Amino acid sequence: MFEKLKQRWKVNGLNLVLIITTFALGGSLCGYAGRKILMLTGLDKGALWIILYVLLITLLWPICVLLISIPLGQFNFFSKYIAKIWGKMSGKTSKTGPKLTQIAIFASGTGSNAQQIINHFKAAENIKITLVVCNKTGAGVLSIAEKAGIPSLLIEKERFDIGDAYLPELLQYKIDFIVLAGFLWKMPVSLIQAYPKKIINIHPALLPKYGGKGMYGSKVHEAVIAAKETQSGITIHYVDEIYDHGEIIFQATCQVEEEETAASLAQKIHVLEHANYPRVIAEVLQK
């Protein structure tokens, strides 16, 4: 049941606990406040008292839940949750439903991160992986897209760098958000301007260290080991005009052992990527 709730609400385990706690405390506060208010009326308990009590807690519940959600850090979730309920009750969302966010995944290689992202959002109600963009013929990610029934777009460098950056195709597919998952080309300025703070990337090291042009894959892990670092990890960040430079959204770490190799460190990094990237994407889209 809890796993289904995590997938439905696109939250991690800690946030799920805080959300459930907010529901419980908000409901209790609502019931307490309703009884106190009715006591001031001097009414005896009876049919009228019950009717008024039901009306009161219906009106008080959103206020109480929002109040409790603030110290628990869940105000953003509950403000959207209550707005959605109100929309359904008022009939405003009955025809159109919640806005669908359509994602394009840009990838260059085997697509292991792309696979995890596709799996994560497969059953999502308002988030859809609409397009896979790739710059390498025969890349594994193209097969992943085909098996998932997701259209793919193979791009060439000149048009991407100094042409229209394939914006017409992205607009045709109504892409709202771009996720880089092992995409090795630098994003052109025109694309960044078209999607301000709507392009994110994952880097296999703890930025600002070991980033920049040419720092990808095993080259990053070799540099980390050569520098005798005791920790490495992943960085999820917004994309700007400079390689691996945009605002950091999330980082996770792992230990680098004395006998570590680039291959063994890569395995640790993959575990962090697969565990965190889809979840962080969902959290960013909830903001």
Q: What is the pLDDT of residues 207-252, one digit of tens each?
A: 999 998 888 889 999 999 999 999 999 999 999 988 888 999 999 9
- The position carrying tokens 């994309």 is 239
Nearest Cα to Cα of residue 232 among 255, 258, 266: 255
Helix, strand or coil for residue 102? strand
pTM over 0.85, yes/no: no
Angle between helices 47-69 and 13-41 (to 10 degrees): 140
Q: What pLDDT, in 10s, does the model give residues 47-75?
A: 888 888 889 888 898 899 889 988 888 88
Q: What pLDDT, in 10s, does the model give residues 8-37?
A: 676 677 888 999 999 999 899 998 988 889
H or E stretch covering 140: helix 140-148
Structural fold of domain 101-286: Rossmann fold (3.40.50)
Domains of the chain, residue spans: 2-90, 101-286
Q: Which residues are catalytic?
A: 203
DSSP string for 189-256:
HHHHHHSTT-EEEEESS-TTTT-STT--THHHHHHHHHTT-SEEEEEEEE--SSTT-SPEEEEEEEE-
